[in-house]
Amino acid sequence: MVDGGSNTPNYYNLYGKKNHLIPTNYDVLYATPSPDGRSFALEVFGGITLGSAIWQIGLSGNFMGIIQDEGAHSQIDGKPFVTDYEGHTVYEGNPIWSPDGKKILYQTFVYYNGRRRDYHLWQLDLEKGNQVLIDRGFTPNISRNGKRIVYSKVISESNGRLNWDIWEYSLEPKKRVKRLTTSRAKEQYPSWAYIHGKEYILYSAKQSGYYDIWKMEKDGTNPTPITFIGAEQKTDALGAMASPDGKKIVFWSVETGPGGIEMNEKIWI
């Protein structure tokens, strides 16, 4: 178990003993363990960046920063992708490991002169050291076999309305992007779930003023609400993840207070 309390990442062993991962005062979010349990990927605020950066940290305290590559190419069409990140505030977050532990998928959130904002998805090859752009999007999750990615993406419809939907990106055998949801609700935080031997996608949808947890088939059909905590308790239910055996789901909730301040964050099972 990992937490970011007291601004510093900590981990707990099976006996509840708490240890600091790195002796810093940086703020940390999204600590995710590698498949072999030997290191963590973290979003670290502070240090050499204006925003945040992904760090890979071993339990011994060794770390390396993940630096953005300005010469990246798009995975979708192979064309050069110019980020124009230099001089702007960049936040790297939501790191997700591939099942073999060789790659890390993460998002960047960029402020351009305080006006325009962009989200991008990247995949870093830890062995080769190169990274490629997947798509514009955020809150990624990778399938158990490492061949498919689901994520949220904001697009502008023909009527000018912005729509938040769930998308799928296939890594094999051919690079393919597929839109899974088309409703007018805001949808994000998708994750793969294996329930009773069948593959589903969990996600958060804002249908009635608050986010609740929903489930759909892997092809985007049969969307079904799982929780009603949002409307009942006037709080947002986000980030659902299923246990490996598919018997339990964990998610977190947050209330939005005056001025858009997030408060009363809770973890649910």
pLDDT tens per residue, range 40-51: 888 877 655 567
Residues in a beta bridge with 262: 256
Are 15 and 22 spatial neighbours (Cβ–Cβ below 8 Å)? no
What pLDDT is attached to residue 73?
45
* pTM score: 0.79
Q: Rounded to an integer, what distance in angstroms lies between the CA atom of residue 48 and that of residue 38?
A: 25
The architecture that CATH gives domain 2-136 is: 6 Propeller (2.120)
What pLDDT is attached to residue 10?
45
Q: Give the C-alpha distances (Å, rounded to integers) separating 3 from 21, 32, 138, 221, 241.
A: 10, 10, 22, 35, 17
| 3-state helix, strand and coil shares in percent for the chain, rounded to the nearest 5 | 5, 55, 40
Of all residues in the chain, the percent with pLDDT exceeding 90 is 27
Q: Where are the domains of the chain?
A: 2-136
What pLDDT is attached to residue 230?
67
pLDDT band at 168 (very low <50, low <70, confident <90, very high): very high
The closest of 211, 192, 191, 213 to 269, measured between CA atoms, is 213
Is 269's pLDDT higher than 80? no
Q: Over the chain, what is the mean pLDDT?
A: 77
Inter-residue long-range contacts of 61-64, CB under 8 Å, 24+ positions, other chains counted: 61/21, 61/22, 61/23, 63/22
The closest of 252, 249, 253, 251 to 235, measured between CA atoms, is 253
- Tell me what the mean pLDDT of segment 235-259 comes to: 84
Query: Tokens 């858009």 — which residue?
Result: 260
> Can you give the length of the chain in residues?
269
- Tell me what the mean pLDDT of segment 140-145 comes to: 92
Q: What is the DSSP letter of 233?
A: H
Q: Other C-beta atoms within 10 Å of 58: how many?
A: 14
Of all residues in the chain, the percent with pLDDT exceeding 70 is 69
Q: Rounded to an integer, what distance in angstroms lies between the CA atom of residue 49 and that of residue 141?
A: 25
pLDDT band at 153 (very low <50, low <70, confident <90, very high): very high
